[in-house]
Chain A
C-alpha cells in the first residue's frame, strides 16, 4: 500500500494519426454525445438502486469527521425510510489499546449452527439469495489424528440431532488476519485492516472484482450475485457503516466481529448465542481477558498457519480427557 504504483502504460505517438477533418468531427460528436451519456448514465443506472451520493462517496478512510458525520446521518435517514423503523447507523471507531482476538473450543462445538443463523440476523445478511458468513464444517474424528484438510469438511451435514456420532465440527468465518491477503489484492482499497484488528470492507468502494475471494485461504468472503433481500421486519436497526449496513448487488461481504456490537463493548452475536459456551472473545492486549487466558493455558492453533497470514481467530481443544 502507500507507494504509488504506475499502472498506466504511456503509448503516445504509437497510434497513426487520422486525417484532420474526420478526427475533428469525431471528437466533436463524441464530446457532445459523451456529455449526454454521462448525464443519462445515472438515470439509466437508477433502475438498479443507483445512489449518486454513494457513487461519488470518498473512501471511508479519507472522510473527514464532518463528512463521516454527514454520511452516518444520510444513511440513517435512508434506511429508516426504506425499512420503516428507527435505524441508527454509526461509524464508531476503535478503542485505544484494543486488538480483538477470538477463541473457539473445538472440543465443545456441537455443530448446531445457532451461530450461523444468529450472525445472519445480526448482520443483515441476505436471506434469499442466501448468504452466511459462518460455515460449520463437519469432520470425522477418526481422521483427526492423521491430520485433516479443510476441503474435506462437509458444511451440508443434515442430522436429526448433533453432535453426530464420531464427528467433530469447526465453524469458520473471517480469521481477521494481521497479514491479510484479501486486503493486499484489492485494486480499489475497498478492504483493509482497522487499528483494532478488524478487517473491514467499504461497500461503496467495492467494485465486485472478487480478487479478495480468490486470495482468502479460508473461503470467508461472500459475494452478492443478486440484489440481497432482507425483509424489513427482520432488519437489525443497529448498524455500522463498515459493518452490517445493507449491501447491494455486486459487492463482497464477510464477518466483522460484529463491529457494531464489539466497539461498544458487547460480545459478538455468535458468542452470545452459543449454547455450549465454545466461543471466547476479548482484547488480546489485556492480560486479564478471556482470550488471553485461553492463549496462556490452552494449546491454541490457527488455520493454515503455514501461510503466515497471522489470523486473530484461535482454535483450541479446551476439554481435558475428552477425545
Chain B
C-alpha cells in the first residue's frame, strides 16, 4: 500500500487518498466476489423442460399449378391448315416459336404436347394428363428422381418440417423446355475485416488493439 510503508510519520493515509484506494479496493473485491460466485455456480447441463409432445404431422400438398385449358395454348389458331400441320420430325423452330428455347435432350414438341388437346400433356402411353400433373410426364424418364422428390429430398419444400408442407413440382424450378438451371446474380458479399474497422466510429471509445 503506497504511503503506508517505512516512513513512520506517514503511517496514516490522507483522507482523500484513502477514499480513492478504498473505492478501488472495494470495487475489485465486489467484482472478484461476484465473478467468483458466478463462476463457482455452474448451471445444470440443460433446462428441465416440461414434456411437450411432438406436434402432429401435416399433409404434403403440391404447389397448385395455374389453370391451363385448351384455349391457353393457341396451337389450333395456326395448326389447322394442311400446310401448317404439326410434324413429328424435329426442325428449326421459327415464326411464333422463336422465343421458345428447346434444349431438352432430343425431345420435340409432340413428345409432351398433344396438338389436338393443347390443354393436356401426353404421356408415352398416349394417355393425357392435366398440366398440374406434369410430374407424371417428367418422371417417365427421370424415374430416379421420383422417390427422392416424394421423400422431400429432390426439389424444394416450404412450410413445416412437421406439419403442412408444400412441394414444388418439377416445372416450378425447371423450365421444361431447357431444364438445367442457369446462373443467377448473387447477393452482396460480407464485408472484409479491413472494411469493418472504421476509425471515426470508435475514436470516442476505447480502442481495442486486437479488434
Give the B-binding residues of A (Cβ under 8 A): 1-5, 7-8, 18-19, 21-22, 25-27, 29-34, 37-38, 59-62, 65, 93-98, 110-114, 116-117, 129-130, 132, 135, 155-163, 187-189, 192-195, 225-226, 262, 264-267, 272, 274-277, 280-283, 289-290, 293-294, 297-298, 318, 320
Contacts and interface: CB of A to CB of B under 8 A. Distances in A.
Contacts of A26: 13, 18, 21-22, 25
Contacts of B18: 25-26, 29
A289 B165 CA distance: 12
B26 A155 contact: no
B87 to A, nearest CB: 32
Q: How large is the interface on B (under 10, 10 to 19, 20 to 34, 35 or more residues)?
A: 35 or more
Contacts of A38: 30
A112 B204 CA distance: 38
Interface stretch (B89-97, B98-106, B124-132, B188-196): B188-196
Contact of A112 (B45, B55, B186): B186
A289 B161 contact: yes
B116 interface: no
Main secondary structure on chain B at its contact with chain A?
loop
Q: Which residue, A30, A161, A262, has most C-beta atoms of chain B within 10 A?
A: A30
A266 B39 contact: no
A231 to B, nearest CB: 17
Given A33-B23, A281-B161, A59 B43 contact: yes
Given A19-B11, A282-B161, 10 more contacts: A59-B43, A98-B54, A113-B186, A158-B189, A162-B185, A188-B39, A192-B45, A225-B208, A262-B161, A275-B156
A34 B40 contact: no
B138 to A, nearest CB: 15
A320 B161 CA distance: 25
A161 B153 contact: no
B160 A265 contact: yes
Contacts of B162: 95, 265, 283
Contacts of B191: 130
Q: Is the interface of A mostly helix, strand, loop or mixed?
A: loop
B43 A8 contact: no
A33 B43 contact: no
A18 B1 contact: yes
A159 B15 CA distance: 68
A276 B156 CA distance: 7
Contact of B159 (A262, A266, A283): A266
Interface string B131-175: 000000000000010001001111111111111000010000100
Contacts of A98: 54
B187 A117 contact: yes
25 contacts: A2-B45, A7-B40, A22-B12, A29-B15, A29-B19, A30-B22, A30-B23, A33-B19, A34-B26, A37-B23, A61-B46, A96-B54, A110-B181, A110-B184, A112-B185, A116-B187, A156-B189, A189-B43, A192-B45, A192-B46, A274-B156, A280-B153, A290-B151, A293-B151, A298-B153
